[in-house]
Each structure stands twice: as structure tokens, then as C-alpha cells.
Amino acid sequence: MMRRRVPGAGGRGPGNDEGGRGTGRKRPRRPSSSSRHPAPDTLHPTPYTRHPGDNFAKVDASRFKDVAELAAAVSACRACPLSATRKNAVPGEGGGRKGIVLVGEAPGAKEDAQGRPFMGQAGKILNGLLKKHGVLREEVFITNVVKCRPPKNRPPKPAEVAACRPYIERQLELLGPAVVCPMGNSATRALLDPKANITNVHGKAVERGGLVFFPLYHPAATLYNRKLLKGLEEDFSSLGKLPRGRTGTQRRLFSGEG
Ligand code: URA
Ligand code: SF4
């Protein structure tokens, strides 16, 4: 029900998550050399430029002392036009420090109705994967790069991502997670590299700004493309094997040294 977007339309569906190949997308993709682009060295390279009319209120998230305080502010946020159409903002929820942070694109209809992340079809798949691979919900914080539902589940606009970005940045600072998993193209591009293609970067750890990032396929990708199931399973299997809370060990594990 939630996934009404046309596959390949660039949203929270598989066309987005598999890099748009073979999904009958209507508009031809710009020829892209994304697979050959090395990720930049800095965290949050601010890939989005503002356009006239996109001067949304600037969110100052640095003032929040904890994730609960931040969540309360998100619920009342009016910084961008998505606040006009949402029912409930979805700040994110879950475990505390040193855990895993999973980051999706934006809330859908069920999430908007409940104010909680990953409540629909994608959430069911996500829960199944976490359980199967031994990741406890208590050690996982789940959120999205954009906290309010875009109308009709359209992909969030770059200016909306930019407006909302201070919240995810502050959440990562406050949570100090052992690993951050952007799920799918949208989150990976927002957090790591605007040119990243999830097909190329999923299941590989990279370090940025003192955090370990481990991009995963988006759980909803498999709703449209069964071929991604194997990759998705492998991603969550690797995630389940991480020694959480021991960042040094984890780095060695990721880099294949130990
Ligand atoms: N898909 C997302 O990316 N986020 C949600 O919260 C639900 C579905
Ligand atoms: Fe505020 Fe983000 Fe919601 Fe826009 S999407 S109103 S910036 S919480």
C-alpha cells in the first residue's frame, strides 16, 4: 500500500535502491560515472544547493541535549513545507549509545499516521531481517533523513533534505553509534556521497568524521526486485556479526585485518 511510487521513479522504491537499472524508468538517467566516484573524505559534504524560494527556516539542532529533546522539536518543526501536509513528524526511535543507527529516506503513510518509523511493509521486512540475523531492536535506533512524509510518498526534494539535515546530524552526534547504516540510495547520498550508488557501496564499511558507515540496501527494494534479496540478506548478516560497542575491533573486522 505504501509503495505507490513507480519503480524507478527515484523514491523509496527499488528503482532508487538498485540504481535504476532495468526498471523501465521513463526519464533516461544522466550518464553517470557514480560507480567510479570515490566518496569524499568529509562527512556531510552538503551536497544540496538551495534554489530561490527554498529558503526554509534554518534548524539549529546543536542546542538539543538528548534525542528526546530533539524528538520533541521535530514533532513541532515547521521549518519546511512538509510540515503543512504531514499528520505526524517521525523523529525516530530506539536504542541508546554505541548501537546501530538505521537511516531510511522519509516516512510513508503508516509512519505518518503513527509518528513512528518503518511501520509498513518495509518495516515488516526490516524487522524480519534484524531478527533473523540476531540484531536486537533495543540496540537499534531507526530514523530517516527527512522526518516528515512527502505528499504521495514522492521523493523528498533536495531542499527538504537540506532543511532537515541538522536533525540527523545531531542525532548521530548524540547517539555516538558504533555503526550508521544508511539504507538505500537516498540516505546514502544524503549522509555519505551525493554521487553514491547503493549497488556499488552496500555492505562496505567506510569511516567518515569519526563514525563508521555501513550502507545497506533498503528493505523495500526487494518488494520490487527479488534479485536484491541475496544482497540484502548478506548486508544484514554482516551487520549481525558486528561486535557492537567495540569500535576498534569493529574497524579491524571491517578492514579485514582481524
Ligand atoms: N521507508 C523509509 O525509508 N522510511 C520509513 O520510515 C518507512 C519506509
Ligand atoms: Fe522540519 Fe524536517 Fe519536517 Fe521539514 S521535514 S518540517 S525540516 S522535521
Q: Where are the domains of the chain?
A: 63-252
Ligand 1, residues at Cβ distance < 6 Å? 12, 104-108, 111, 117-118, 122, 144, 220
Comparison of pLDDT for 98 and 200, the residue scoring more = 200
Which atom of ligand 2 sits closest to the CA of residue 77?
A: 1
Tens of pLDDT along 63-119?
Answer: 999 999 999 999 999 999 999 999 999 999 998 777 999 999 999 999 999 999 999
pLDDT score recorded for residue 79? 94
Judged by its nearest atom, the ligand closest to the C-alpha of residue 168 is 2
Distance of CA 135 to CAs 25, 131, 162, Å? 35, 6, 31
With the most atoms of ligand 1 within 8 angstroms of its CB, the residue from 4, 74, 118 to mutate is 118
Query: Which bound ligand lies closest to the C-alpha atom of 147?
Result: 2
- Residue 205 φ/ψ region, left for φ over 0, alpha for ψ in the -120 to 50 degree band, beta for the rest: beta
Containing H/E element for 236? helix 229-241
Mean pLDDT of the chain: 80
Give residue 250 CA to ligand 1 midpoint distance, Å.
Answer: 27
- Residue 225: which of 13, 5, 1, 2 has the closest Cα? 13
| pLDDT, tens digit, 9 for 90 and up, residues 150-160 | 999 999 999 99
Residue 44, φ and ψ in degrees, nearest 5: 50, 70
Query: How confident is the model over 144-155, as a mean pLDDT?
Result: 97
Instruction: Tell me the CA end-to-end span of the chain in Å, nearest whole number.
Output: 44
Cβ(145) to ligand 2 under 6 A? Answer: no
Strands 100-104 and 179-182: parallel
Ligand 2 pocket, residue 89 CB under 6 Å: yes
Report how far residue 215's alpha carbon sits from residue 141's, in angstroms, rounded to the nearest whole number: 15
Contact 208, 43 (CB under 8 A): yes
- pLDDT band of residue 170 (cuts 50, 70, 90) is very high
Q: Which CATH number fits domain 63-252: 3.40.470.10, 3.30.530.20, 3.50.50.60, 3.40.630.30?
A: 3.40.470.10
Q: How far apart (Å, rounded) are the C-alpha atoms in residues 83 and 202? A: 31
Which ligand approaches the C-alpha of residue 142 most closely? 1
Arithmetic mean of pLDDT, 162-186: 95
Q: Which ligand is nearest to the CA of 164?
A: 2
For ligand 2, the distance from its centroid to the CA atom of residue 90, given in whole angstroms, is 9
Confidence band of 242 (pLDDT split at 50, 70, 90): confident
- Residue 162 near ligand 2, beta carbon < 6 Å: no
State the distance from the centre of ligand 2 to the C-alpha of 164, rounded, in angstroms.
Answer: 5
